[in-house]
C-alpha cells in the first residue's frame, strides 16, 4: 500500500495530478483542527470573547463571531493554498461521485432548517440579523473547511473512506464541547456533542454530493436559524413537528449512508 493511503475508490491521493506541497495525512488534518480549536479557545478567554461580556447583542456577535472567525478563515484558506490541497478540499473528482440517493440528506435537512427558520422573529433589528448572518456564514465556512475539507482530505491520505468519515463526525462533535468555555451547562453540551456528531454525517453527504460549498451553505443556514430564533449554539432549537420528524428521518437514513460508504470503501479501483 502506498504510504499516502487509499481513497474510497482505491486510488491513492499521491497518484492524482494535484501537486501537494504538504502530503495529506490524518495527523496534518488533526493538527489543523487542533490549531483551530486553540485559536477559538484563546479568543474566548480574551476581553469581550465570552457571551455577556458586551451588552449590545449586535456588537457582541460581531466581537465573538465575525472578528475572530474572519481571521481564522484567512488562515485556513492560506493553509489550503500553501499545502496544495485546494482541489481535493473543495470537491471530489468525477470517479468519486456519490450515489444520487445521497441528495436526500441536503434536501431533508433543508426541511429541518425551514422548521427553525419558522421560529425566527423577523421584526428584529436589521443590523442585528445581518451581523448574525455574517457570523454564522463564517461559522459554516470555517468549520466545514476545517473538518469536511482539510481533515477529510488529510484522513483520506492515511485511511480508507469509512474511518475518515467517522473521524470527521467525531471531531466535529467534540469541537462543540468548547461551548463549556462559554459557561454552557454540561448535560446540554454533551447532548449537543452527540447531535452534532450525527449532523456531521449530513454535512459529509452534502459535501460528497454538491461539493464543500453546499455543506458550507447548509451549515450557515442551520446556525443562522438557531441564532436568529434566539437559541444558543448549544441548543437544537424548537422546530415544529414536521421539522423534528425530518431530523428523525435523517437519523434513520444515516444507517444506509454508512453501509453505502462501507461498500464504496471496499470497491476495487
Domain-embedded: residue 7: no
Per the listing, cell 478567554 goes with 45
Residue keyed to cell 454538491: 210
Domain carrying residue 66: 13-266
* 33 belongs to a structural domain: yes
Q: How far apart are CA 89 and CA 161, in angstroms?
A: 14
Could you tell me how far CA 46 lies from the centroid of its own chain?
Answer: 25
Residue 6 lies in a domain: no
pLDDT of residue 16: 52
The contacts of residue 114 (CB under 8 Å, 6+ apart) are 243
Decide if pLDDT at 234 tops 60. Answer: no
Mean per-residue pLDDT, 11-27: 74
Over residues 42-70, the pLDDT tens digits come to: 998 899 987 778 989 999 999 999 999 99
Under the banding of pLDDT at 50, 70 and 90, the label for residue 240 is confident
**Torsion sign across C-alpha atoms 140, 77, 202, 98:** positive
* Residue 119 backbone phi and psi in degrees, to 5: -95, 0
pTM: predicted TM-score of the whole model, two decimal places: 0.90
pLDDT value for 19? 76
**Residue 175 falls within a domain, yes or no?**
yes
Q: For residue 182, is it within any domain?
A: yes
Q: Which three cell numbers stand for residue 193?
A: 456533542
Q: Residue range 101-121: average pLDDT?
A: 95
Q: Is 224 in contact with 63 (CB distance < 8 Å)?
A: no
Average pLDDT, integer, range 124-147: 98
Indicate whether 133 belongs to any domain. Answer: yes
SS3 state at 158: coil
Q: What is the mean pLDDT of the chain?
A: 89
pLDDT of residue 52: 75
Model confidence at 7: pLDDT above 50: no
Q: Classify residue 145 by its DSSP letter.
A: I
At residue 198, the pLDDT reads 96
Biggest distance spanned by C-alpha atoms of the chain: 59
> Cα-atom radius of gyration of the chain, to the nearest Å?
18
Q: How far is the C-alpha of 247 from the C-alpha of 249, rounded, in Å?
A: 5
Half-sphere exposure of 84 (CA within 13 A, CB side): 11
Place of cell 433543508: 110
Query: How many domains does the structure of the chain reveal?
Result: 1
pLDDT at site 239: 74
- Residue 252 within any structural domain of the chain: yes
CB atoms within 10 A of CB 38: 10
217 contacts: CB under 8 Å, gap ≥ 6: 140
The answer as to whether 2 is a domain residue is no
Amino acid at each position: 500500500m502506498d504510504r499516502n493511503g487509499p481513497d474510497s475508490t482505491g486510488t491513492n491521493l499521491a497518484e492524482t495530478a494535484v501537486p501537494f506541497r504538504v502530503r495529506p495525512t490524518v495527523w496534518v488534518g488533526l493538527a489543523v483542527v487542533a490549531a483551530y480549536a486553540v485559536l477559538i479557545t484563546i479568543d474566548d478567554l480574551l476581553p469581550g470573547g465570552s457571551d455577556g461580556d458586551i451588552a449590545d447583542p449586535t456588537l457582541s456577535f460581531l466581537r465573538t463571531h465575525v472578528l475572530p472567525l474572519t481571521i481564522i478563515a484567512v488562515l485556513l484558506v492560506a493553509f489550503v493554498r500553501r499545502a496544495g490541497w485546494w482541489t481535493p478540499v473543495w470537491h471530489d473528482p468525477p470517479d468519486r461521485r456519490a450515489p444520487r440517493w445521497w441528495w436526500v440528506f441536503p434536501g431533508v435537512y433543508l426541511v429541518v432548517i425551514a422548521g427553525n427558520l419558522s421560529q425566527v422573529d423577523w421584526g428584529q433589528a436589521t443590523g442585528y440579523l445581518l451581523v448574525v448572518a455574517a457570523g454564522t456564514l463564517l461559522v459554516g465556512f470555517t468549520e466545514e473547511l476545517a473538518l469536511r475539507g482539510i481533515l477529510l482530505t488529510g484522513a483520506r491520505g492515511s485511511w480508507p473512506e469509512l474511518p475518515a468519515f467517522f473521524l470527521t463526525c467525531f471531531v466535529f462533535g467534540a469541537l462543540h464541547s468548547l461551548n463549556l468555555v462559554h459557561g454552557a451547562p454540561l448535560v446540554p453540551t454533551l447532548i449537543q456533542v452527540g447531535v452534532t456528531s450525527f449532523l456531521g454525517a449530513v454535512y459529509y453527504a452534502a459535501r460528497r454530493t454538491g461539493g464543500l460549498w453546499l455543506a458550507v451553505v447548509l451549515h450557515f443556514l442551520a446556525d443562522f436559524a438557531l441564532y436568529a430564533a434566539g437559541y444558543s449554539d448549544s441548543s437544537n432549537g424548537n422546530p415544529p413537528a414536521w421539522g423534528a420528524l425530518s431530523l428523525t428521518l435523517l437519523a434513520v437514513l444515516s444507517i444506509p449512508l454508512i453501509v453505502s460508504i462501507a461498500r464504496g470503501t471496499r470497491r476495487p479501483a
